[in-house]
């Protein structure tokens, strides 16, 4: 699946938004990609997951680990595409952790899967969850890279890249500050 096809799915499902958004990272932007609107369609989720699985197949992944909520559906679909299990980490008192009986074996080859990577904060936190369990993180993948050349500390693969500028809250351009802000992300702003 080429980047143009990915972005076409976002447009056709109304998942590509323009306005004033406060992202999960706390940064502000004039563009937002709501992956849930694409992933609500099982055929789209399956196609995107299969495409990501094909992209990372050479990594010889044994398990997929995603941060909840955003990475849950696409992580599951990548796991299906690779024929491996897909688990998720979730926040407990602001810290990502494995729960619900999920475990990773020492040395198990793990791929971290997200829907969108902007700053990479959630992805890096998820990498640390896997490493704390003794697993070997072989890479990270997402549907969309909107962070540019973000350093995740592991090889990173994305189906599409987009560029929406971001600004700290105290450095907003006047034209953006004049638009009411929306907080669409799944992580409370300012959380760990």
Q: Does a structural domain hold residue 136?
A: yes
Q: Does a structural domain hold residue 26?
A: yes
Q: Does a structural domain hold residue 27?
A: yes
- Please give the pLDDT value at position 156: 95
- Helix ranges (H only) for 24-98 are 35-39, 42-56, 72-82
pLDDT class of 187 with cuts at 50, 70, 90: very low
Q: How many domains does the chain have?
A: 1
CATH number for position 78? 3.40.50.2020
pLDDT digits (tens, 9 = 90+) for 3-42: 888 888 988 998 988 899 998 778 898 888 888 999 999 9
The burial class, CB within 10 Å (0-12 / 13-18 / 19+), for 9 is buried
CA-wise closest residue to 40 among 115, 102, 145 = 115
- Please give the pLDDT value at position 186: 54
Q: Does a structural domain hold residue 47?
A: yes
Distance between CA atoms of residues 85 and 100, nearest Å: 14
Percentage of the chain modeled with pLDDT above 70: 96
- Please give the pLDDT value at position 69: 85
pLDDT class of 189 with cuts at 50, 70, 90: very low
Whether pTM > 0.75 for this model: the answer is yes
Q: Does a structural domain hold residue 184?
A: no
Q: Does a structural domain hold residue 86?
A: yes
Q: Does a structural domain hold residue 182?
A: no
pLDDT digits (tens, 9 = 90+) for 53-97: 999 999 999 999 999 888 999 999 999 999 999 999 999 998 888
Q: Does a structural domain hold residue 192?
A: no
What residues make up the domain containing 8? 3-177
């Amino acid at each position: 699946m080429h980047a143009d096809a990915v972005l076409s799915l976002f447009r056709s499902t109304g998942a590509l938004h323009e306005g004033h958004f406060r992202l999960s990272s706390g940064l502000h932007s004039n563009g937002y990609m709501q992956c849930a609107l694409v992933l609500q369609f099982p055929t789209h989720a399956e196609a995107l997951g299969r495409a990501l699985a094909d992209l990372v197949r050479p990594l010889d992944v044994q398990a997929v680990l995603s941060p909840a909520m955003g990475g849950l559906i696409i992580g599951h679909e990548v796991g299906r595409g690779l024929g491996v299990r897909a688990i998720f980490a979730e926040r407990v008192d602001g810290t990502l952790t494995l729960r619900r009986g999920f475990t990773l074996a020492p040395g198990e080859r793990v791929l971290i899967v997200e829907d969108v990577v902007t700053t990479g904060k959630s992805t890096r936190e998820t990498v640390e969850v896997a490493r704390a369990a003794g697993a070997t993180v072989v890479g990270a993948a997402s549907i969309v890279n909107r962070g540019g050349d973000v350093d995740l500390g592991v090889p990173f693969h994305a189906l599409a890249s987009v560029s929406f500028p971001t600004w700290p809250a105290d450095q907003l351009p006047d034209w953006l500050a004049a638009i009411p802000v929306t907080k669409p992300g799944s992580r409370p702003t300012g959380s760990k």
